[in-house]
Amino acid sequence: MLDRLLAVQWDDEEGMFAHARSRAALMREYLRRMAYWADLLDADDVWPFFDVAARIGPNIRADETVVADLETYLWNNVGWPSIANTCRAAVNWAALRSRTQTSFDLPAPFEPLLLMYERGGGFSIESDFIDLNGAMVPLRRRSEYLLPEEVVDLQTEILDQLDSDSTTSK
């Protein structure tokens, strides 16, 4: 997980705009997944950007060396606290999954967000919107994201097609 985060180009303006449509869909899918996780873990007070692993197994955290490397990287490369918090949470989620056999009926919480990062960097929160630097996603009540169907399939080909469709429809 750390390697994946270290490879993200946080200031990838070209990617932000070229993948604006897929990034918005991925953020909406992240919000949908986290709405279910928040429901399961009674985490409405910290939704949508929270550490799922801390709610499930607060004593199971990422290795100290990984945490130190992540913190150094975040300090030097990531400016927004909400992004840094999601990176920490994703690393802790990976640690939890590798150390426990616990199974959940919910999809992996951070995968859409990680894919969004990989397709053009981070986000900021402006008023009631999540600004993806090329697209805006409304930040609504958690209950409005409790949708039964996924927003977007996470396969690269489908995400690329979504972005391709947006450029051909202009």
112 upstream amide cis, omega within 30 of 0? no
Per-residue model confidence (pLDDT) at position 44: 94
List Cβ neighbours of 59 (8 Å cut-off, separation of 6 or more).
none
DSSP 78: -
Over residues 92-118, the pLDDT tens digits come to 999 999 998 877 889 999 999 999 999
Per-residue model confidence (pLDDT) at position 127: 86
The boundaries of the domain holding residue 44 are: 2-168
Give the chain's domain count.
Answer: 1
Residue reference for tokens 């750390």: 2
Lowest mean pLDDT among 11-15, 93-97, 139-143: 11-15
Paired tokens of 52:
């799922």
Cβ atoms 30, 112 nearer than 8 A = yes
- Give the pLDDT band of residue 168 (cuts 50, 70, 90): low
Q: What average pLDDT does the segment 29-43 reach?
A: 97
